[in-house]
Each structure stands twice: as structure tokens, then as C-alpha cells.
């Protein structure tokens, strides 16, 4: 079990670790993040090493205010300000041209950076106390399930990572990511905030956003995205449904409302993964805007 830094009273200790070049897992409203000083290239390198993350996948930089975001953007377009004032703090990442203060390792060598102000009191307290922006992907190894509880982080990294505990992540899946570069609004990754924007094509080299790899967010157990119980390979696995029940060895009903479904999804998959089923089948959610982020995560997990 990983060592634990308890909330609030030990935020100063966690912030000191960040300032000193260490890595700390911390809670956000989306998922737990694996954070380091975004201005320290050597500290950010530790994140890539811990996760086994390819250098083509950039990190989101977490800030505690719009003013802090502007400080690390070479340009802060009016649309970025409008989006930030509407949705921050919250699960929206805004990609803008980066300040030279942000090392290239953070942004996969790209001239842009994704900035986000999380809506979690412990995360905001950590960033404010550290006094630096915090680069943080999800606190899991690359392509694995994202963590929404400190126990998920501990199971993934053991004693290798200090954990700043802050309860369950209430959004449950990663942030929406939009680019506002060049005056054009582009959706790079869907999330629970729906933004009306052109969807970016699949990248060929460095990715302008995390979460664009074909396979991602995956349990170790084989995951199947199915249209209903008639698509199951047999009755020996676990089945997640919201509309069409089936008889299998393990059956779990998921919420029929997308926000509640998203908040529960990763925790349920973590628990089923630990039970060592031959497969986990998930009934395909509706193809609608409200469900688009959930469908995206399930498609990547089952690819």
C-alpha cells in the first residue's frame, strides 16, 4: 500500500514535494492526477517514467486561477477567456500557445499547452500552496484505467508515489479538451462538458491533447463493447448494462443518466478487473452528445 498524505493538514507537505521536484498523486473532480512542477523538466520526466507514457502525449497543466493560466500562455485569445470564465473551475482543458516558461517535455514538443483549473478544493489548495503550475496526467500507468479513488492509485503504484487523499472524483472521467489556437475552436477530447466545435482528426505524430491514442483507459481484463446480451461470447464473464439485462456470472446495472454513469464507470471497472473475469462486456450507451465522452472512453478501452 502506498504511503498516504492526508487531506488539507498535509497540503503544505505535498506542495513542498512538488516544489522540490517530486511527484504527488492528488485528487481532482475528474480523476486523480500524477503531478509535478510544470516548470521543472526533470520533475516532469519522472511522470513519464512512472507512467511509461510516450513522449508524443502531452500533459495538462493545472492552475489555480485564470490569471495563472494567462501567465503561462503566450497568447490568451478572447474565446479562451470566455470559456474559462464560463467553465472554470471545472472539467475543461483549454489548449493555447505556450509560454517559453513551460518546458517542451510537458507539451510533447508542441508550441501549445493545455491549461485547466480543477474544481476540487484539495487540488486548488495544492496548486496555490506550491506556487507553481502542476503538470499532471491521470495517476495510472499508460493505457490503464484512470483512478477515481486513492485506492486505485495505491494499487497501481504501491510505495512509488505519495498520495494526497481527497475522496472520490465526482465527475469520474477526464476533462473535455478544446483548442483555441489560431482563432479556431477545435474539440480534441470529449468530456462531460459539451462544446460545439469541429472535431480534430486523429494525430499522426505528437498529440495536441492527452487521450488521443487508439487504445486507452483499459482494464487488464478484455473489455467488450456490445449492443446487448445477444452479443455476449458466453455466460462466464461480467456484464455492465443500463437498458438490456442478461444472465451472466456477474451482472451490474449502470445508471441510465450520463453524469451518474461517468462518475461510477472507472470504479466499477477497477473492481471487476480485480475479480479476474475472462471478459468484461459493457452495453453500448446511446450515440448522443450527452454520452459522447463515455462512448469515447469505452471505444478506446475495447480497441
Report angle CA 25, 106, 175 to the nearest 5 degrees. Answer: 60
Strand order in the sheet with 250-253: 223-226, 280-283, 238-241, 250-253
For domain 4-199, the CATH architecture is Alpha-Beta Complex (3.90)
Domain boundaries in the chain?
4-199, 223-302
In sequence order, the β-bridge partners of residue 218 are 144
- Residue 72 grid coordinates: 503561462
Averaged pLDDT, 193-203: 87
Round the average pLDDT of the chain to a whole number and report it. Answer: 94
Place of cell 448494462: 241
Give residue 215's pLDDT: 82
Entry pTM: 0.94
Question: Mind giving me the DSSP string for 257-274?
Answer: SHHHHHHHHHHHHHHHHH
Question: pLDDT tens digit string along 1-56?
Answer: 556 665 556 999 999 999 999 999 999 999 999 999 999 999 999 999 999 999 99
Backbone CA torsion sign across 252, 256, 260, 262: positive
8 Å CB contact between 98 and 113: yes
Q: Are strands 176-179 and 33-37 parallel, antiparallel or unpaired?
A: unpaired
Over 70: is that where the pLDDT of 112 sits? yes
In sequence order, the β-bridge partners of residue 217 are none
CA within 13 Å, CB half, 40: 20
Report angle CA 272, 274, 275 to the nearest 5 degrees. Answer: 65
Amino acid at each position: 500500500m502506498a504511503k498516504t498524505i492526508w487531506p488539507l493538514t498535509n497540503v503544505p507537505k505535498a506542495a513542498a514535494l512538488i516544489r522540490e521536484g517530486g511527484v504527488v498523486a492528488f485528487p481532482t473532480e475528474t480523476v486523480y492526477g500524477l503531478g509535478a512542477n510544470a516548470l521543472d523538466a526533470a520533475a516532469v520526466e519522472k511522470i513519464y517514467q512512472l507512467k511509461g507514457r510516450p513522449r508524443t502525449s502531452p500533459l495538462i497543466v493545472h492552475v489555480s486561477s485564470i490569471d495563472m493560466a494567462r501567465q503561462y500562455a503566450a497568447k490568451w485569445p478572447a474565446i479562451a477567456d470566455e470559456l474559462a470564465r464560463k467553465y472554470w473551475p471545472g472539467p475543461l482543458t483549454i489548449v493555447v500557445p505556450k509560454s517559453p516558461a513551460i518546458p517542451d517535455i510537458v507539451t510533447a514538443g508542441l508550441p501549445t499547452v493545455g491549461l485547466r483549473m480543477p474544481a476540487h478544493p484539495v487540488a486548488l489548495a495544492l496548486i496555490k500552496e506550491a506556487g507553481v503550475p502542476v503538470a499532471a496526467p491521470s495517476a495510472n500507468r499508460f493505457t490503464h484505467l484512470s483512478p477515481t479513488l486513492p485506492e486505485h492509485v495505491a494499487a497501481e503504484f504501491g510505495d512509488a508515489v505519495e498520495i494526497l487523499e481527497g475522496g472520490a472524483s465526482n465527475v469520474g472521467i477526464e476533462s473535455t479538451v478544446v483548442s483555441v489556437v489560431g482563432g479556431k475552436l477545435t474539440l480534441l477530447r470529449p468530456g462531460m462538458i459539451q462544446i460545439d466545435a469541429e472535431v480534430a482528426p486523429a494525430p499522426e505524430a505528437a498529440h495536441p491533447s492527452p487521450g488521443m491514442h487508439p487504445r486507452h483507459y483499459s482494464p487488464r481484463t478484455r473489455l467488450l463493447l456490445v449492443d446487448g446480451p445477444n452479443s455476449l461470447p458466453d455466460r462466464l464473464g461480467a456484464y455492465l448494462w443500463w437498458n438490456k439485462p442478461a444472465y451472466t456470472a456477474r451482472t451490474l446495472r449502470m445508471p441510465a443518466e450520463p453524469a451518474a454513469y461517468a462518475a461510477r464507470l472507472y470504479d466499477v471497472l477497477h473492481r471487476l478487473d480485480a475479480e479476474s473475469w475472462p471478459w468484461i462486456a459493457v452495453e453500448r450507451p446511446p450515440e448522443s452528445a450527452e454520452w459522447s465522452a463515455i462512448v469515447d472512453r469505452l471505444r478506446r478501452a475495447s480497441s
